[in-house]
Amino acid sequence: MKYFTLLILFISFSAFSQDKIPAKNGDITINPITHGTLVLEHNDQVIYVDPYGGADSFKGQKKPTMILITDIHGDHHNQETLDGLDLSAAIIIVPQAVADKLTAGIGKAVEIIGNGESKTFNGMKIEAIPMYNLPESADSPHTKGRGNGYIISLGGKQVYISGDTEDIPEMRSLKKIDVAFVCMNLPYTMEVDQAASAVAEFKPAIVYPYHYRGTNGLSDVEKFKTLVNEAAPKVEVRLRNWYQ
């Protein structure tokens, strides 16, 4: 009986931590890892976004075919984590500032993409979107043009990764986003109210608040959900535990 109870708890936890989005040629699987880190799967493609937290955090995950890194900070470009992973089959997609810091010879290939550019890798279109702080200044934590948000075309769906950004016009003007991962942690990105207001304007079909740990602890994602539900009731807000 004890074993059966533990098994049920394990199954429940696993189901909670992994989502599936219906898409062409099979579901997109979403695996939250920690903070701004996640794994996306579709058919034979396995995409690690901002691998962070040590290689042990990816135990049980499939070997990556693609790595997306948004920025130079250690919770996005984490060389120790990268060094502990098997990247032999992975194309590593980065902005120039990250490429300048990568260990030589890492991965199958390193591809550089900048704000406003789009390229196709492994049959998937990847578009680089600006991510930056407001007001713009040379000493802000995230300057315009240094890092990338990304839009991934996957199984006929548009998946948006915000990276570290504030409530910028480039995010508000997004169209036809099916799944969005939106950050909210002061003082580095934006507050919950700003994030909810932006999401209510560009109206993704599904939004996950992620990257929500700041200097004062975790942001109030329940408040985020309430605000989005009030302003844009057709947007589905999915809350997941990124800080287990």
**Per-chain mean pLDDT for the chain:** 92
CA distance 18 to 133: 31
- Selection from 27, 83, 24, 29 nearest residue 52 by Cα: 83
Q: How confident is the model at residue 8 (pLDDT cuts 50, 70, 90)?
A: very low
Share above pLDDT 70 across residues of the chain, in percent, rounded to a whole number = 93
Query: CA 234 → CA 28, 207, 209, 220, 238, distances in Å?
Result: 21, 11, 16, 21, 13
Residue 3 lies in a domain: no
Residue 5 lies in a domain: no
pLDDT in tens, 183-229: 999 999 999 999 999 999 999 999 999 999 998 899 999 999 999 99
Q: How confident is the model at residue 242 (pLDDT cuts 50, 70, 90)?
A: very high
Rounded to 5°, the CA angle 228-229-230 comes to 90
Mean pLDDT value across residues 5-28: 65
Residue 4 lies in a domain: no
Residue 201 lies in a domain: yes
pLDDT value at 175 more than 50: yes
Q: How confident is the model at residue 136 (pLDDT cuts 50, 70, 90)?
A: confident
Residue 10 lies in a domain: no
Question: In total, how many domains does the chain have?
Answer: 1
CA distance 147 to 96: 8
Residue 153 lies in a domain: yes
pLDDT in tens, 77-112: 999 999 999 999 999 999 999 999 999 899 999 999
Q: What is the CATH number of the domain that holds 138?
A: 3.60.15.10
Residue 242 lies in a domain: no
pLDDT at 17: 61
Amino acid at residue number 201: E
Residue 175 lies in a domain: yes
CB 98 within 8 A of CB 90: no
Q: The tokens of 21 are what?
A: 């989005």
CA distance 192 to 222: 10
Parent domain of 52: 18-237
pLDDT at 164: 97
pLDDT at 2: 42
Provide CB contacts within 8 A for 169, sequence distance 6+: none
pLDDT in tens, 31-47: 999 999 999 999 999 99
Q: How confident is the model at residue 244 (pLDDT cuts 50, 70, 90)?
A: confident
Q: Report the half-sphere exposure of 17 (CA within 13 A, side-chain side).
A: 17
Mean pLDDT value across residues 6-28: 66
